[in-house]
Structure 1
Amino acid sequence: MSVFVDIVPEEPKADPARAGVSAARWRGLLTKAGLPLLSVLVFFAVWQLVATLGIWNQTFVPYPNTVWRAFIDVSTTHDGARGYAGYLLYEHLYMTLRRVLAGVVIGVVAGVLLGLLMGSVSWIRSVLEPWLTFLRALPPLAYFFLLVIWLGIDEAPKITLLALAALPPAAVATTAAVVAAPVGLQEAARALGATRTQVIRDVVVPSALPETFTGIRLAVGMAYSSVVAAELFNGIPGIGGLVKDASNYNNTPVVLVGIFAIGFSGLVIDGLLRALERRAVPWRGKI
């Protein structure tokens, strides 16, 4: 006589630790994506409310849908008119980004090299630091008209202004990072026979990278904050020129379109810089 016994496999038990990690990850994603979205919705709700209440004239605070129509008009050909001043919005933005890119590259490269030099050689730092502080304290409009006198009203003064705006943050951050490089690691490298150049390349530069990236992000922000000033003269096509020209006619919706275009493109570029920083300096915040 044979007896058959059915063996029912036990269901795997849920791992509480794994479930907790998954829940925490979802909460983190929700916080990271949900809160910014919520803040945007609140901003537009308050904007719509203020415009509806009529606290200020529509010239000063237009309705959001008015700004949206201005965005469509600037981005398309309508009633025989192509965009704004003959250029579509993406063409204005392209010219501005091209100027910002050229100015930022020149300013950041010069600033980082200057910061490495100032951080490594104390007497050079003593000589150049006052001039760097002087330049950093100047608002862009203070010397833009001088650049126009020297360089004309073409592209040269615009790019020069953006480069001068981007240089001080990159130089100051790099100088501070180089000065703060771990002395123990430098002495250990010298004890192992490293030359001064090798110490700077293999010890100082890697330790300075995190703060240097912070300076680069600040430099990009300074260049963006100066772009309207840089495009005061002969700035069309360009977002700054668009904003200035529209403001001359109290065309607030187009001014807001230009401001939003600068702001959103700045967010995208800052996000790209953050991603580059995470790849170039993966140890930041972990040691």
Structure 2
Amino acid sequence: MLAQKTLDNPELMTDAEPAEVPPSPSRQEVRPAPTLLQRAARLFAAGPAKPGDAFGAPGQGRSLAISIVTALSLIGLWFLSTTAGWVEPLFLPSPTAVIARFWEVLTEGFANATLIEHTGWSMLRVFGAFALALVTAVPIGIFMGVNRIARGLFDPIIEFYRPLPPLAYLPLVIIWLGIGETSKIVLIYMAIFAPMALSARAGVKSVAIEQIHAAYSMGASRWQVVRHIILKSALPEILTGMRIGIGFGWTTLVAAEMVAAQAGLGFMVLNAAEFLVTDVVIMGIIVIGIIAYLFDLLMRFAERKLVPWKGH
């Protein structure tokens, strides 16, 4: 019936739109297959949302405000307790006395070295040991996570000495390496090595086996799986281990500088404690805390840039 009307009225034939004809398979656009790296990148493209996104920026600002108020409250309580005479200056000097001592040590020095010299020696020892641990502990931790033989070889050694305090094996380090700078750096290195290696191993163990199987099914080699899948997935744990390790390094600094040191923040604190110069002791503790906190902020910034999917 419709065909008859169309034949009877030519205008319907001219005004009608032509039917769409699907392109033949030979004319369809042929897109190149994605490469292995592009496929691996897609696995990480759809990562989980940040936990902090549920609270938004106001939650972060509120946390910062609480931290500032807490710090100011502690300083105010310190100032009040010393000004009112609740605590003797020998046990807790006032903040003004500590600031005055800080300027004195900065300009005139203490124990034959200025504050900058003490800080420089301590940072050289701690960050030198940290760099050595970074290039050794992280690869060993990753190797322990992917290889059972390596895990059986290194795990008993690390787990044995990890709970020991540095003062326990300090005499042995001195006997083996002497009282020079090498023994100090090695002592700090041993304290940093264990948490960094164990964190790297834990990061490798947390990798989803589905990602590894998917990469192998796409033709990836073992090295490509380690580099593009395992290392990226373990990176949050590795960065956390670096933060923990540097904390152990600063903790061990005082023990390391007990051995024939001529300068350093730990040496300065110990020397001041022997002569009951409490303001220098508190000043040294504050300086160590500030340096460690600034490094921790740097590591947090690195986490936000390198592992944005982790959430903070």
Same fold (TM over 0.5): yes
Name the structure 2 match of 1:65.
96
Q: Deviations over 1:107-129 (max 9, x none)?
A: 12211011111001113212321
Name the structure 2 match of 1:18.
none
Shift of 1:33: 3.7
Question: How far apart, in 1, do the equivalents of 2:60 and 2:142 lie?
Answer: 38
SS in 2 for 1:153: coil
1:73 to 1:145, Cα distance in 2 relative to 1, 3 A: same
Name the structure 2 match of 1:176.
202
Q: Runs of 5+ in structure 1 lacking a partner?
A: 1-23, 78-82
Question: How far apart, in 2, do the equivalents of 1:134 and 1:91 lie?
Answer: 36
Q: Is the 8 A contact 1:108 1:219 kept in 2?
A: no
Shift of 1:25: 7.2
Name the structure 2 match of 1:205.
231
2:226 corresponds to 1:234 = no
User: Displaced runs of 4+ in structure 1, greater than 6 A?
Assistant: none
Shift of 1:195: 1.5
Name the structure 2 match of 1:92.
118
Amino acid at match of 1:38: V
Name the structure 2 match of 1:256.
282
Shift of 1:56: 3.6
Question: How far apart, in 2, do the equivalents of 1:59 and 1:67 lie?
Answer: 12
Name the structure 1 match of 2:83.
52
Name the structure 1 match of 2:298.
272
- 1:1-287 matched pairs, under 5 angstroms: 27-28=58-59, 30-77=61-108, 83-285=109-311
Question: How far apart, in 2, do the equivalents of 1:188 and 1:26 lie?
Answer: 36
Question: How far apart, in 2, do the equivalents of 1:27 and 1:235 lie?
Answer: 48
Amino acid at match of 2:134: V
Shift of 1:72: 1.2
SS in 2 for 1:137: coil
Aligned length: 258
Q: Is the 8 A contact 1:231 1:240 kept in 2?
A: yes
Amino acid at match of 1:70: R
Shift of 1:65: 1.2
Shift of 1:50: 2.3
1:55 to 1:145, Cα distance in 2 relative to 1, 3 A: farther
1:29 to 1:124, Cα distance in 2 relative to 1, 3 A: closer
Question: How far apart, in 1, do the equivalents of 2:58 and 2:229 lie?
Answer: 39
Greater relative contact order (Cα 8 A, min sep 6): structure 1 or 2?
2
Q: Deviations over 1:42-91 (max 9, x none)?
A: 111111222234344321111111111111111113xxxxx112221122
Q: Deviations over 1:223-262 (max 9, x none)?
A: 0111111111232321011001001101110000100000
- Larger Cα-atom Rg: 2
Q: Runs of 5+ in structure 2 lacking a partner?
A: 1-54
Shift of 1:178: 0.6
Shift of 1:26: 7.5
Q: Deviations over 1:179-237 (max 9, x none)?
A: 12110111111111112121111111111001111111111111011111111123232
**TM-score relative to the length of structure 2:** 0.78
Q: Is the 8 A contact 2:111 2:271 kept in 1?
A: no
SS in 1 for 2:162: helix
Amino acid at match of 1:46: L
1:184 to 1:29, Cα distance in 2 relative to 1, 3 A: closer
**TM-score relative to the length of structure 1:** 0.85
Q: Deviations over 1:136-180 (max 9, x none)?
A: 111111111221222111110111011101101111011011112
